[in-house]
A and B are shown apart, each in its own frame.
Chain A
């Protein structure tokens, strides 16, 4: 099949075939990282702007490396998230960048829907690199790539996502992707961090770490940020770790070949113990590795270069 979308705004609107296409394409880009000269000419002469309104180390470097390995000309633009503070509106910022004729814009923004606003106004292809608590499609795609490499498939797997469900864009994109691909998804976390109606996205809900781990093939731990949510949600980090922190002894409940994932950045001793993070079941660094290949695939497909020769 061929890619038809101008933008990648979320997983919610993608078909299983489109997801499969990205994952297969990513697979073919993996070997570039193993070459002595890690570069292909695929996007030579194309311009990509990385527009980051929120601090990000992992995602931005991953996109940058992906762009460089594809020989695209890339440029970084960082700004504060709030239109009110900044004095210039998002649309004005974007129109200025558009005037420099980029082919693609990768945007990370603190507010849901910001990439959609750009997509409506700009001819450039827009890649959502995280919009508030809404979606983070390339994260879900790289998670899927990681799961597929370990399990050979996604269909039929039991995947548990544990932590601050309410404020996580990763969990939303992952529920969409994993359920579309036939996995059984459970989300677990404190009552005070569980958004209402999350079941409607297709996930089962649990409020117990042990229950969520029962028979799991994949366990994804999410970062918890008390500084952002305030103490009305969880009284302390210490108490959170006792309720939902993943420690080695918990994994006995999971499937024996379970893999443990984390989108990062990780808080050791808060949602995950170092023993687990560095342990034999952890695939956390592989996720980062797969991130580059998945983002190369997304950049390639959205650039329209698929129709041309590679």
Chain B
């Protein structure tokens, strides 16, 4: 058992919540940050973590993961999913409701919370379903789920198709000050599509999913959000046009936020051709065009995008070892996100380290109303320590996750997680 008192010494502390970027020592006591000073001597009985050459930041939060429990533990479980989170530098995740049974009631929410606490690798915040059984007809018992620990609602995996249901969900969620998270997709426009519709889908002969499939739902929902005064969050936003609409909504002062995934920031539909129809390039929303990707990068820089979330979606290798068209949608993300972002977004000069920490910690914590995302004195000591110099080769055979579906296998990156602290305890795997 690790000590509950720590001094983290000699590290570069990057904390956008306090506008902090400099060399400080951290004292952690009783599960909370108790001091941040330029030089701290360790009190008696206190363990010291030497963070020389490392970066210390508020614990990373992945606000969009699928842990498959209950019901599909052969893909992932709360235990293995939270181990994957810890390995990837995350101290908290929010897990989507499309389990079996669906997380649409207090008992399922409570099970998830209890399981996660039993292991303690990372905090697991359940996201409840918008509708009962995610059937898109009646509101789920949102208040009951919130009392059991739900931090948001979403039918993710499926869109909320019915406009009246969406309107009512936005209104009802106001009671609890939680966002309604939408998987924005018009299933009629998606049809039989399996990849982004454009030049590449035409060349490969794969049925396309047009960008408009996302855009028409975002457009409708923004109108409903404006009228309802609710909080709306776009999950895995992937198109330039949806991003523009979110930008305009924010300018109007609406309570609208959005997240993007590392794969939509780093890969395009061309990757499917380069990887010769590999099912590890198949997910929803699909990898979009280069111009969409460029727009997303601009949205990271100008602040339109509030969070980077992985949409960690484990699938068993047998399910993915099939024809592209037959494979389920989704890829892993927890164990690749930090290294990808450090190397391809910060090292490349697109983002500052502070902005990255904002996108991976402070931003998502704020959206979900978590106590995380800050190392201010008195806050829970959820801390990520990473090394932005360490050389990393993505190797799926060493993942903590039960699944292996990543398109980033073999990528050589610079930067990666060293250790996490959750509630002042050092997490060991």
Contact = CB atoms under 8 A, between A and B. Distances in A.
Interface of A: 12, 82-84, 89-91, 109, 111-114, 116-117, 120, 131-135, 166, 169, 172, 195-198, 200-201
Given A89-B321, A89-B322, A112 B202 contact: no
Contacts of A133: 205-207
B318 A135 contact: no
Nearest to A172: B205
Interface stretch (B252-260, B323-331, B378-386): B323-331
Tell me whether chain A's interface is mostly helix, strand or loop, or mixed: mixed
B326 A84 contact: yes
A191 to B, nearest CB: 14
B323 A117 contact: yes
Interface stretch (B43-51, B108-116, B193-201, B238-246): B193-201
A116 B276 contact: yes
A113 B322 contact: no
B91 to A, nearest CB: 38
Contact of A82 (B197, B205, B326): B326
Interface residues of B, number: 21
Which one of A112, A114, A166 has the greatest number of beta carbons of chain B within 10 Å?
A112
Contacts of A82: 326
A135 B205 contact: yes
Interface in B308-343: 318, 321-326
11 contacts: A83-B322, A83-B323, A111-B324, A111-B326, A112-B206, A113-B276, A117-B322, A134-B205, A172-B203, A195-B208, A201-B202
A117 B207 CA distance: 18
A80 to B, nearest CB: 12
B323 A197 contact: no
Given A91-B322, A111-B326, A166-B202, 11 more contacts: A111-B323, A111-B324, A113-B204, A117-B323, A120-B276, A131-B205, A132-B205, A134-B204, A196-B198, A196-B208, A197-B198
A84 B325 CA distance: 11
B205 A112 contact: yes
B23 interface: no
B98 to A, nearest CB: 20
Contacts of A114: 323
A131 to B, nearest CB: 7
B270 to A, nearest CB: 11
B205 A91 contact: no
Interface string B200-236: 1111111110000000000000000000000000000
A90 B326 CA distance: 10
B203 A200 contact: yes
Contacts of B322: 83, 89-91, 117
A134 B276 CA distance: 12
B205 A196 contact: no
B172 interface: no
A84 B208 CA distance: 21
Nearest to B210: A196
B277 interface: yes
Contacts of A198: 202
A126 to B, nearest CB: 12
B205 to A, nearest CB: 3
A90 B203 CA distance: 23
A167 B198 CA distance: 14
Contacts of A200: 199, 202-203
6 tightest A-B CB contacts, nearest first: A113-B277, A197-B199, A133-B205, A134-B205, A195-B202, A111-B325
A222 to B, nearest CB: 14
Which one of A82, A111, A131, A133 has the greatest number of beta carbons of chain B within 10 Å?
A111
B102 to A, nearest CB: 23
B366 to A, nearest CB: 38
Contacts of A169: 205
Nearest to A167: B205
A134 to B, nearest CB: 3
Contacts of A111: 323-326
A169 B329 CA distance: 24
A274 to B, nearest CB: 30
Nearest to B277: A113
A135 B325 CA distance: 15
A132 B202 CA distance: 12
A112 B326 contact: no
